[in-house]
């Protein structure tokens, strides 16, 4: 998916269909965060910090909630705007990882994924397309982590 290039960038190896899907998913999640930040599907992105203290939780949301939301949306913006490019710089590659992971968490929450789930659903199951998206995002997150941590980074010209 990502491979280091001699110029210090990361080559992005995805087909047009995958790129379009990722841009669309980024749009959808960004819209959901903006329009319905209390949506149950977002609970993994914005977990409760103080389970037993609603007052402290409200204070935390006021202080950190906007920053966390802005950070998630910035990563989604990078994914959306760079999905059709052939190369990413280090910051963009990191933003991709953040956005892909956020998308995976939301889809997994929607599917109520547990450790026992293997993702093996019959093709005629109503959630089969969403399970396919979840599997694709899981694969992309894994490949991106491997690429970004599997080396010391892109080689530099020298």
Find all residues with CB under 8 Å of 4, minimum gap 6, and list them.
Answer: 10, 11, 147, 151, 153, 154, 155
Q: Is residue 97 part of a domain?
A: yes
Domain membership of residue 154 (yes or no) is no
Angle, CA 11 vertex, CA 5 and CA 14 arms, to 5°: 160
Question: Can you give the pLDDT at residue 153?
Answer: 46
152 pLDDT higher than 90: no
Each residue of 34-62: pLDDT tens digit?
998 889 899 889 888 899 998 998 888 88
Q: In terms of Cα–Cα distance, which of 111, 109, 110, 78 is closest to 96?
A: 78
Mean pLDDT of 73-91: 97
Residue 156 in any domain: the answer is no
pLDDT of residue 46: 87
Mean of all residue pLDDT scores within the chain: 91
DSSP assignment of 8-25: S-EEE---HHHHHHHHHH
Kindly state whether residue 158 falls inside one of the protein's structural domains.
no
Q: Which domain holds residue 144?
A: 2-149
What is the number of structural domains in the chain?
A: 1
In a domain, 57, yes or no: yes
Determine the average pLDDT of the residues in 143-156.
73
């Amino acid at each position: 998916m990502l491979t280091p290039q001699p110029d210090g960038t990361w080559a992005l190896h995805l087909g047009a269909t995958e790129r379009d899907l990722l841009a669309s998913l980024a749009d959808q999640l960004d819209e959901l965060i903006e329009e319905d930040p209390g949506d149950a599907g977002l609970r993994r992105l914005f977990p409760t910090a103080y389970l037993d203290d609603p007052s402290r939780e409200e204070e935390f949301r006021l202080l950190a909630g906007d920053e966390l939301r802005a950070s998630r949306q910035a990563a989604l913006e990078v994914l959306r705007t760079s999905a059709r490019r052939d190369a990413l710089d280090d910051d963009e590659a990191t933003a991709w990882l953040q956005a892909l992971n956020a998308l995976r968490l939301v889809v997994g929450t929607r599917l109520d994924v547990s450790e026992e789930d293997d993702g093996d659903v019959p093709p005629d199951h109503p959630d089969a397309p969403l399970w396919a998206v979840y599997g694709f995002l899981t694969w992309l997150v894994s490949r991106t982590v491997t690429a970004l941590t599997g080396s010391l980074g892109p080689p530099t010209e020298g």
